[in-house]
Amino acid sequence: MTVQASYRSSYDQSTLTTQKYQPLDNITFPADIKLYNQLVANRSKVLTTMGLLPARLDLVTEKSRHAVVLDEQKKLPPLVVVSTNRSQWIKASLAAIKKTERYNSVGDMNAVADVPDRSTCPVIYSPRRIGDNRNVYIVVHFDEYNEYRRALGGSGITVVGWKFGYSQAIQYQLSGFGASRFAAIEFCKALWRQLDPRSRWSYAWLLDDNVIALSNCPGLESVEGTMKVDKVVAGFRGASKLEDTPGITAWAKAERAKQVTLPKARNMGIVQQAALWNIKYLDENYLNFSPTFVTSAEDVSFMNYFDVTARPYFFYTGAEVIKAVTKSDGSPSKQALEQTRTELVQFIVDEEKTGLVTAKQPPPVTIDPLTPPTGLQTVHKFIAANLAKLDKIGKDSDAASRAVEQILCDAIEKKLIRVPVLDQVFQLNGQEQQRVQW
């Protein structure tokens, strides 16, 4: 399978989130449906052959499961935050609002507009910004659980640790973007199933950890009030870049001077970064993000799947996510987790280089470069050669994995992958619920 493409020169150095994880540009696909199906099947089969999927999902919280469930009864939809390597930054963000100050809605821009330039803006999920009848959870890999629990103790936020249960014989741990969002949604499902059916919420918010605000959104309740039982998700236009505190406060001052109303929604767009998910719908249809998207595109692929299968959702194109520049922890636990992820990605990339998992016509995908160097090359060689020119040796495995995930996303969008194959990717356990131990 030969794909025409050029290397995106802004990859790995752009501040634009739309380019940060996409190493390929100007992709042109041959009409070879068989091979695209083999490519996505191969990625899943690598993980199943390794014994990483399917596997039990283990969850841990400081409070008992019973106590968490009891505290969630008759509450508004919770805010569930996916995070890694930012516990101290989040702690500073929460401290940006004084203990004496409280706001009843995330649409109140006074919480953001008056922050000093050298301070950290308060995140949208700060308990002091959301009122008293809504809980906040931060979902992190188990390796970072204790670090987050110490940093956020007393904040009113519940830290949820996750990992997949494996036998001692398995060398690798499942991690990455898709796995973390998968775990967050499965936590929501597990919580929803245990609530009183007569008074439970059907939806939950899934947020990136550096979301500060939503433009043209008077409050979370305004979105929840328009949500429909047949809609899988409601979301907003993603932030294209990260903003510093002066930029965010300037925006917030202008926003609070406006008469803000929720714009009309349409059924087309990339929902990411902040979204209201229909947990009841996802649970009853056995749907979730796919852990096979390890290094990128876990959100774009899911939305493309909804478009292909005609699953309705709300996309507020006139409302935008506002995200902040962050600082990383750089802790030993994060370094260990990163090493684990690096080893997993390297294994996947090596398998996709050689095609050892699938038999007949496996990857690698061949790139026909639109710009020099000329001549057919595998994705992995093409990526490595371009990174070498930029003296970025050592980043080629992540980039090669992201290139394959980018190709898969575009192939889904162009309907080059059969729906039954996609069902296996986004219905990880078929018509059964994910095994969860909590």
Q: Residue 75 in contact with residue 135, Cβ under 8 Å?
A: yes
Amino acid 359: pLDDT = 46
Distances (CA, A) of 334 to 113, 147, 338, 339, 427: 32, 9, 6, 8, 29
How far apart (Å, rounded) are the C-alpha atoms in residues 155 and 148?
Answer: 11
Q: What is the pLDDT along the chain (438 residues), one digit of tens a residue?
A: 678 888 888 887 655 666 678 999 988 887 767 777 888 888 888 888 888 888 999 999 999 999 999 999 999 999 999 999 999 999 999 999 988 899 989 999 999 999 988 889 999 999 999 988 999 999 999 999 999 999 999 999 999 999 998 766 677 889 999 999 999 999 999 999 999 999 899 999 999 999 999 999 999 999 999 999 999 999 999 998 899 999 999 999 999 999 999 999 988 889 999 999 999 999 999 999 999 999 999 999 999 999 999 999 999 999 999 999 999 998 898 898 899 889 999 988 888 876 554 445 555 577 888 876 667 888 888 888 888 776 665 678 899 999 999 999 999 999 999 999 999 999 999 999 999 999
How far apart (Å, rounded) are the C-alpha atoms in residues 318 and 255?
Answer: 14
Amino acid 355: pLDDT = 56
- Domains in the chain with CATH codes: 2-53+331-426 (no CATH), 57-329 (3.90.550)
Amino acid 394: pLDDT = 61
